[in-house]
Amino acid sequence: YVSIRYDNTRFHGYIPAYHLTMPRAFHRWDGHLYKRGLKICATSWIYYHRRDYRPELLGVRDHEMRTVRGFSQHEFGNYVMYLRLMNVLHNFPKDDLAYYYMLTQGNGYQARKLLATLY
């Protein structure tokens, strides 16, 4: 399952199975509803627009939109450190920082996508 809450974690936006083992928000804890010790709950996203972040729906006007420039080398280093602190990256070598900056050209989206798959 996809969740915005897990976007900035090592799970890359997906809820791990062991976080779904006891969906307490859906239970009323009535013992007579359990059949042989198991109660199954399900939810559906079929009628919802997941991650529909269109500016007109969020109330953002055209003159309020800006394009984000690429990172400088110093900002890229800070960004990698932030990903490390948020446990998105594990065991990232400091010596390869300039190489990955050159590879992604300072693009934050591409950097996160590349580094999260490698480290």
pLDDT in tens, 12-30: 788 877 776 655 555 556 5
Cα 105–91–118 angle (5° rounding)?
50
Summarised one tens digit per residue, pLDDT across range 61-92 is 888 887 778 889 998 888 888 888 888 888 88
Query: C-alpha angle with apex 56: 5 to 65, nearest 5 degrees?
Result: 85
pLDDT at 49 over 60: no
Instruction: Look at residue 19 and give its three-state secondary structure.
Output: helix
Report the C-alpha gap between 118 and 11 in whole angstroms.
14
- Cβ atoms of residues 69 and 76 within 8 Å: no
Higher pLDDT pick, 11 / 46: 11
Picking from 5-9, 13-17, 50-54, 94-98, which range would have the lowest pLDDT averaged per residue? 50-54
Find all residues with CB under 8 Å of 73, minimum gap 6, and list them. 98, 101, 106
